[in-house]
Amino acid sequence: MHSMFFRLGLPVIDLYENLMFDIDIRRQKPLPAGPKILVSNHPTTTDPFLILEIAPEPVRILIEERLFQVPLFGTYLRLAGHIPVLQSSGRSAYDTALQTLRERKSVALYPEGAISPTEGGIHRPRTGAARLALESGAPIVPIGVALDRARIRRIETKVRNEPALGTWYFHGPYAISVGSPMIFRGNVEDRELVESISQEIMERIASLEHESRLRLDARKSVKRSGAGLRTVIGEVIYE
């Protein structure tokens, strides 16, 4: 049932993306077959929708639980099978993600556990992605996202009658670099190993974010110079 609602929502998401975003996707290699763990930096609240452009199959995204309380929007997230992450404890979300991978389905998550700093850069990673990779054996697919930070809008709303600040990106360029799959093996109970893998994943994401930023800056430079520029929505280039 989750897959059905996921696919029903895709045409609406695709239409919005095509109308509002200039999405540039570059992949170092094709995505591996089977279950995988998509991991990315997290510059805005909009990211979970745009990350769906990466994979051809349904992906269950770990999303902050508060967004599931937003009328209509939250209902769709629930029906599409995305996974709520409680602020007090992420164990339930982790167990659901692990079970999803064991059922040979893919998941996506943001190792920072929060929106990236608005001035740029990334937060120190949490360990969930590394632990999922070790326990499931699924490959990590690192992703680096860059966008026009001047277009980010911080909007305060109310969820459960409490103020909630969203960091939204409604339109503009959105560059995505998809890295080569990363395979990890070892004991998930080895804390030093888990921390080391988490840092390695985050460093790879940061490198890919830098690649995306360079492409974005180059496109801006070409536009400022007045030279011709062909815009391709959903461009995929293997390097």
Domain-wise residue ranges, the chain: 2-238
Does residue 232 register a pLDDT over 90?
Answer: no
Residue-wise pLDDT tens digits, 89-106:
779 999 999 999 999 999
Where residue 5 falls among pLDDT bands split at 50, 70, 90?
A: low
Mean pLDDT along residues 159-174: 81
Q: Is the pLDDT of residue 239 over 50?
A: no
Amino acid at 177: S
Residue 30's pLDDT band, with cuts at 50, 70 and 90, is very high
3-state secondary structure the chain: CHHHHHHHHHHHHHHHHHHHEEEEEEECCCCCCCCCEEEECCCCCCHHHHHHHCCCCCEEEEEEHHHHHCCCHHHHHHHCCCEEECCCCCHHHHHHHHHHHHCCCEEEECCCCCCCCCCCCCCCCCCHHHHHHHHHCCCEEEEEEEECHHHCEEEEEEECCEEEEEEECCCEEEEEEECCCECCCCCCCCHHHHHHHHHHHHHHHHHHHHHHHHHHHHHHHHHHHCCCCCCCCCEEEEC
Q: pLDDT digit string (tens) for 112-143?
A: 988 999 788 899 999 999 999 999 999 999 99
Structural contact between residues 96 and 145, judged by C-beta atoms closer than 8 angstroms:
no
Of the two residues 47 and 39, the one the predictor is more confident about is 39
Whether residue 195 is predicted with pLDDT greater than 80 in this model: the reply is yes
Predicted pLDDT at 83: 93
Contacts for 63-68: CB closer than 8 Å, 24+ residues apart:
66/159, 66/160, 66/164, 67/159
Neighbour-count burial for 144-181, b at 16+ CB within 10 Å, e otherwise: bbbbeeeebeeeeeebeeeebebbebeeebbbbbbbeb
How far is residue 48's CA from residue 71's CA, in Å, rounded to a whole number? 17
Asked if the model's pLDDT at residue 71 lies above 60, the reply is: yes
Residue 229 has pLDDT above 50, yes or no: no
| Contact of 174 with 148, CB cutoff 8 Å | no
Q: How confident is the model at residue 66 (pLDDT cuts 50, 70, 90)?
A: confident
Q: So what's the pLDDT on residue 1?
A: 53
Task: Categorize the per-residue pLDDT at 234 as very low, low, confident or very high, splitting at 50, 70 and 90.
Answer: very low
> 3-class SS at 154?
strand
Confirm if 58 and 8 have CB atoms less than 8 A apart: no
pLDDT class for 238, splitting at 50, 70, 90? very low
Q: What is the residue type of 13?
A: I
Q: Is the pLDDT of residue 4 over 70?
A: no
Q: Is the pLDDT of residue 60 over 70?
A: yes
pLDDT at position 230 is: 43
Mean pLDDT of the chain: 86
Contact (Cβ atoms closer than 8 angstroms) between residue 205 and residue 111 = yes
